[in-house]
Chains A and B, each alone.
Chain A
């Protein structure tokens, strides 16, 4: 006789683990399939996409996402679709649905979700779903605008819509959607890639069912969810009970100049964790609004950043995590507000949750990073190639220091995942722009025992006759904060220069510039961790020798006094000790 398993698992743990890995791998395969056959670089290069496999109750079995933000936001779309069509019994084999509405799916209209039910022997057994960013969906400006004030300016809104009916494509509907794109071919290509990825997921799911049997799979899934729940509970229980609050602001919403408040209250009680966003800004006229589904995803991302970043997420996770968002805020947008820049407030939200919990999760936390995508866009006419051009670039910056190390310099922001910048040599070949310099911004990292990473400085020169400049730079009012007496990183700054005239700005829509104008963008640094006077003097000297800081910063911020001796700096230890003692 065997003893009862302490967790009351239903299936053999070996079988369960093989099935768990197979489901996760099936999602990886869907992702590979999507990346392989999509048309747009934003999908196959930037990985602005996510895929998942679900059971018939829309609970996550396996997922793979390119951007961290897309963690677990597809289940909500499946549930909404099922509700919209009147229940699971309305699905037929071969059906495919599409949707993008921001208030339902959570993100901006460019993110298209495709859902396909999976049938085994005439019964619905699950779903496969994909989300990917389409380049254009008929917004008022190409791509998506910077100054929309209503969702109708941002593109076509699609509720859950059947585009394949029992295996037959509905050409009229597909045309209706893709004809509204300025890039119809790419839209069709990406749609087909998403459908192919759903098929890959369906085939793998059916293979797994055939190999192990449906009953076994269903028992194993119960066990897999239970494992996830046990792990979450273990993790949350380790956080001391308490209420942890933080707040910060975005500079503005791009249309009105009033700061956008983000308030976070995290309550930990035993195995339960609640994130309450009450008090955050009402929904705004500008585009910094986000649908509820995506806000929930962002809270989960923050949790995952701090706790078990390596473990696989399933439908069993987040059962003891509650998220409270009052209606009609920037985090629960409702018609008719615009949602194009839904991620700016989410980047801040994630940083704030980490900050709130940092007193009790010191080792896992990190000081704030430079904060947002810091997008610079040039649009105009390229005289040399006789064609119009559009260059959009998110800019890297400094990341926050943490208990074990300095923050990383010159790294892309949290919502952009593994995005790679364009090499200067390629950029200059493709666009009428010249890069005059590209480097780290000295002294921009927040001082601390561990130093925040440095922001970058990049100078563009316009080579064509004229063009329009668009900027979305953020977080000058709440720059990257330090933790545990570490200091903030420097704020971002953009300077537009024409001969001797100079003008600084952070956000701008379609500002005309002409040949020879210089645009100098500087991004912020990351926050420091620990008191800067606790930084080992040798490390301060090293930073000075490498030019990450200058002599004044070494003395004024780190209290390290150095002298020039024989062409090189040396630490004056007694003066340093004295300076640190007096000025602390």
Chain B
């Protein structure tokens, strides 16, 4: 067994590395600039700063944005799409909705496949799965001839009702492979066996679009990692909160799309376990983003369907809500009033203090002027900040507002904090939960700076800051299990559904899922399966997913499903109808391969020593400048307590704690910030 477990989160600007030494239970972290031109080399060189010989690494997981970037930059595969005759435009039209209701110049995003590359074949499967029109081989051969002339990288096939009867899709693949043996063909029912043709097509197309890029990248990455001695598997973080081996990732690249931010949510769950909090609001705030996710009863909030730039993706994903712009949010004037955001200075030019030509005041500039960020110590001293530039940018607003620069700076932060709190509250209301029952977990470069002030607005009394706040996503990736999802659409009234059929579908999915886990070297005793069903009242559009005990579907289990559905409906929507008729829509199986990832405490001895501040510094609190002690997180140990106001610096972020709060250090060095005189 190797000594280390290694987690790497490749972000747009920085790559975060966390190395877990199982012998000492010590975590080392590293933040290195991402090298977009040659990702794998840059990453591996950065990693070797922490560990030279990969033969000591027995678990290597990484979150990757290569698939996401290929999608965002529209640099994916050149594709053809084959659809049922009469439905060439279903992909372009989508659901025909207009999400910006006051915009008369609204445009949908450009489809990933142009209309000229979409081909119709004569065939039609009916709603019950029977064949209305058989596959016309001649029309298909004509299409294949056209396809062969146009040098596509891949062909996607999405036929109507293929979730019910996939025979025509399979037949098309067989015939294409006969004529064009090297063509990569992806079938909609294999990517996601769920109804709704546009969503299934969009999912299939995105999967095929990023596939060659993800595959090339992973193949190269693996080769270089093996050269450095890696003999175990390379794991990839998935959007659903689990990991998969790189082999599986090449088949299902769509699961890598949100792999970065999800690490933070999974890390929060682990952090919640060690601190005994099961309900968490997780806040990831970076320079240009502000992402919120929610953990209820120790489980991540996973949605069966997400969307990316308005393209639907039918694939389970941890719900990450982007609700603001983070430290880059710009302060500006409108109608004589002060506004903060939603526009952001982004990474380039970034805040005025970055010195890259930004002249508008941002939240980061305000924090700098208030003394909450150190101009020398930003990102562990990797970046020097220009406080004069911040001052000038804020002064421009201050003059027009008739306020002092300090008042304006604090106002910008206050408005930003209140806005973020408002957005979080709206989110919790839509989920039917009360934020006051939750603890706030804050991470990312800027999260810990704002978290206590945001929590105060929300009436949250406990804030958790991980010891590795700035590289927390990479840490969280070390705390996950292998996961694989499958789905079948099975529409039937719950009361008279065909139990045999339902059983057969669950068994089929469980066998398939088990095979995928075996491919990832999981033994039966490491596997766990969850059976789920999407249910609704007849007439409803949305569904509620409930757990079904695995094994065999009996009258008893149907009754249990129905009961759970009524209960969950009440929880989520505030009402239910126990006499209502319940309908099954989809059946799902989730397979887990359990990995060794429990958190072990490094010490049980409480430190009796009072911590020493590294320096005293003037910082503005509620309009008053005050000499404030600044601590380094590295000097803090288990059992120590600090009272606010204070600032705690870590190599990757800054934790701001006003008066009225105190800080506890737990066994593994995480901070728990608690409001004094709890309300």
Q: Give me the interface of A with B, judged by CB distance under 8 Å.
A: 2-3, 5-7, 9, 12-14, 16-18, 20-22, 25, 28-29, 32-33, 35-37, 39, 41, 44-45, 65-68, 185, 189, 192-193, 196, 200, 223-224, 226-231, 234, 301, 304-306, 309-311, 354, 365-366, 369, 396, 399-400, 402, 404-405, 408-412, 414, 416-421, 423-426, 428-429, 434, 436-440, 456, 459, 545-548, 567
Contacts and interface: CB of A to CB of B under 8 A. Distances in A.
A528 to B, nearest CB: 14
A226 to B, nearest CB: 7
10 contacts: A6-B336, A17-B338, A18-B414, A25-B425, A36-B574, A224-B337, A305-B102, A434-B126, A456-B89, A546-B116
Interface in B564-613: 572-575, 577
A408 B105 CA distance: 8
Q: Which 3 A-B pairs have the closest CB atoms?
A: A437-B86, A14-B411, A227-B335
Contacts of B577: 185
B336 A9 contact: yes
B422 A25 contact: yes
B301 interface: no
A438 B542 CA distance: 24
Given A9-B336, A234-B335, A438-B90, 8 more contacts: A226-B335, A418-B97, A418-B101, A421-B96, A421-B97, A424-B87, A429-B491, A439-B89
B338 A424 contact: no
Contacts of B99: 418
Interface in B419-459: 419, 422-423, 425-426, 429-430, 432
Interface string B189-218: 000000111110000000000000000000
Contact of B199 (A200, A226, A405, A423): A423
A302 B606 CA distance: 67
Interface in B318-337: 334-337
B127 interface: yes
A456 B419 CA distance: 41
Contacts, number: 221
B108 A408 contact: yes
A425 B430 contact: no
A200 B575 contact: no
B194 to A, nearest CB: 10
A276 B334 CA distance: 29
Interface of B is mostly: loop
A412 B98 contact: yes
Given A227-B334, A227-B337, A423-B197, A68 B429 contact: no
Given A408-B106, A418-B97, A13 B414 contact: no
A235 to B, nearest CB: 10
A22 B422 contact: yes
Contacts of B108: 408, 411
Given A227-B335, A425-B127, A439 B542 contact: no
B402 interface: yes
B5 interface: no
B226 interface: no
B336 A7 contact: yes
B92 interface: yes
Contacts of B425: 25, 29
A61 B572 CA distance: 28
A366 B105 contact: yes
A2 B97 contact: no
A495 B146 CA distance: 34
B97 A420 contact: yes
Contact of A425 (B114, B195, B415, B539): B195
A545 B87 contact: no
Nearest to A365: B104
A440 B93 contact: yes
A229 B86 CA distance: 52
B334 A231 contact: yes
Contacts of A428: 126-127, 161
B378 interface: no
Contact of A411 (B98, B115, B338): B98
B415 A14 contact: yes
B403 interface: yes
Nearest to B422: A25
Contact of B419 (A21, A404, A417, A418): A21
A424 B432 contact: no
Given A6-B336, A423-B195, A196 B574 contact: yes
Contacts of B195: 423, 425-426, 429
B56 to A, nearest CB: 50
A224 B149 CA distance: 63
B95 interface: yes
A68 B101 contact: yes
A541 to B, nearest CB: 11
B423 A37 contact: no
Contacts of B491: 429
B411 A29 contact: no
A517 B116 CA distance: 32
B460 to A, nearest CB: 15
A310 B235 CA distance: 43
B88 interface: yes
Contact of A14 (B94, B97, B414, B540): B414
A5 B199 CA distance: 54
Contacts of B282: none
Interface string B68-105: 00000000000000000111111011111111111111
Contact of A33 (B89, B95, B403, B429): B429
A37 B575 contact: yes
A65 to B, nearest CB: 8
Contacts of B163: 425
B86 A439 contact: yes
Nearest to B339: A17
A438 B93 contact: yes
Contacts of B347: none
A228 B403 CA distance: 21
Contact of B337 (A17, A412, A434): A17
A436 B107 CA distance: 27
Contacts of B100: 309
A192 B102 contact: no
Contacts of A567: 149
B334 A29 contact: no
Contacts of B403: 12-14
A365 B163 CA distance: 43
B541 interface: yes
A12 B405 CA distance: 14
A196 B429 CA distance: 12
Contact of B336 (A41, A230, A414): A230
Given A32-B429, A227-B337, A425 B107 contact: no
A369 B103 CA distance: 12
B89 A404 contact: no
Contact of B115 (A28, A36, A546): A546
Contact of A226 (B127, B161, B336): B336
Nearest to A25: B422
B418 interface: yes
B281 to A, nearest CB: 16
Contacts of A396: 93, 96
Contact of A438 (B87, B335, B402): B87
Given A227-B336, A546-B114, A547-B116, A13 B104 contact: no
A191 to B, nearest CB: 12
A67 B101 contact: yes
A83 B451 CA distance: 47
B616 interface: no
Contacts of B401: 5, 13
B104 A424 contact: no
Contact of A424 (B85, B197, B402, B540): B197
B160 interface: yes
B96 A230 contact: no
A140 B73 CA distance: 55
Contacts of A36: 429-430, 432, 572-574
Contact of B116 (A227, A438, A545): A545
Contacts of B141: none
